Amino acid sequence: MLPPPETLYPVTLPDGSSYAGTVFLANALRHPNIHVGDYTYFSTFEPAQDPADYAARLAPYLFEGAKDCIRIGTFCQIAHGTRIITTGANHAMTGFSTYPFPIFEADRIGAYSESFPKGRDVVIGHDCWLSDSCTILPGAQLGNGVIVGAGAVVGGVVPDYTVVVGNPARVLRLRFDPATITKLNALAWWHWPREVLTQHEALIVGRDVQALLDVGKSIRP
């Protein structure tokens, strides 16, 4: 059965122990600028001693109280080495040099970071797969069901249910035809109750959209 959403380590090994290399991020992070939906997990070959450290691994330039945020939907799968770059990594670019002289003086560093305009939040939709060592750039907007190829560098707006690869990332293909994508977005299975998700797992990972729609109709109030 699908683990409860409040689980920290959702993978149980054959010997009954919990695997520390995979965490449900919503229960690991304590960063006020990162918002993650239920069941979204991060997997790594180098588990953190403190799960809260995953915030720094995923978004090393996102500081508490920054002007921008990261918003990640439910049921996303985030692989080892993924990094999300935010506007906190900025340097001033209006003059001859981009060297950040003010960061070496305590009374100037705050004003320096505040001088940058607010960037667009990074938004990652539901059921996205971010493959090994990919990079998500400031302000990127990923739709639902997006697959990001290993090592891809992704910026801008990525449509729902597309596969993107490369640096800079380009759309390789649509995963489904537009009519099916519209149906999947309207269905929003990622908001179904846990017991319904468990019962209909085969349909969720299958290819029969009509059968999935029929389940959706049966659970509507």
Our count of domains for the chain comes to 2
Backbone CA torsion sign across 81, 87, 89, 93: positive
Q: Does 46 map to a domain?
A: yes
Q: Does 5 map to a domain?
A: no
Tens digit of each residue's pLDDT (9 = 90 or more) over 89-128: 889 888 999 999 999 999 998 888 888 878 899 999 999 9
Q: Are residues 85 and 55 in the same domain?
A: yes
Q: Are residues 36 and 123 in the same domain?
A: yes
Give 174-183's long-range contacts (Cβ < 8 A, gap of 24+): 175/145, 175/147, 180/209, 181/145, 183/209, 183/213
Q: Are residues 137 and 85 in the same domain?
A: yes
Q: Are residues 168 and 186 in the same domain?
A: no
Q: Are residues 97 and 195 in the same domain?
A: no
Q: Does 34 map to a domain?
A: yes
Q: Does 209 map to a domain?
A: yes
Residue 117, pLDDT score: 79
Mean pLDDT of the chain: 94
Task: Using the predicted structure, report yes or no on whether residue 1 has a pLDDT greater than 90.
Answer: no
Measured CA to CA, the distance from residue 138 to residue 123 in angstroms comes to 10
Q: Does 31 map to a domain?
A: yes
Q: Are residues 130 and 37 in the same domain?
A: yes
For residue 110, give both structure tokens.
């705050």
Q: Are residues 82 and 100 in the same domain?
A: yes
Q: Does 58 map to a domain?
A: yes
- Active site (catalytic) residues: 91
Neighbours of 82 (CB within 10 A): 22
Q: Are residues 142 and 162 in the same domain?
A: yes
Domain of 106, in residue numbers: 22-175
pTM for the model stands at 0.93
For residue 198, CA distances in Å to 1, 76, 204, 218 come to 6, 17, 10, 15
Backbone CA torsion sign across 128, 86, 48, 34: negative
Q: Are residues 77 and 100 in the same domain?
A: yes
Residue 64, pLDDT score: 86
Q: Does 7 map to a domain?
A: no
Neighbours of 99 (CB within 10 A): 10
Q: Are residues 186 and 151 in the same domain?
A: no
Tens digit of each residue's pLDDT (9 = 90 or more) over 168-187: 999 999 999 999 999 999 99
| Count of helices and strands (H, E) across the chain | 7, 15
Q: Are residues 170 and 183 in the same domain?
A: no
Residue 221, pLDDT score: 54
Q: Are residues 181 and 152 in the same domain?
A: no
Q: Which residues contact 171 (CB under 8 A, 6 or more apart)?
A: 158, 159, 162, 163, 164
Q: Does 4 map to a domain?
A: no
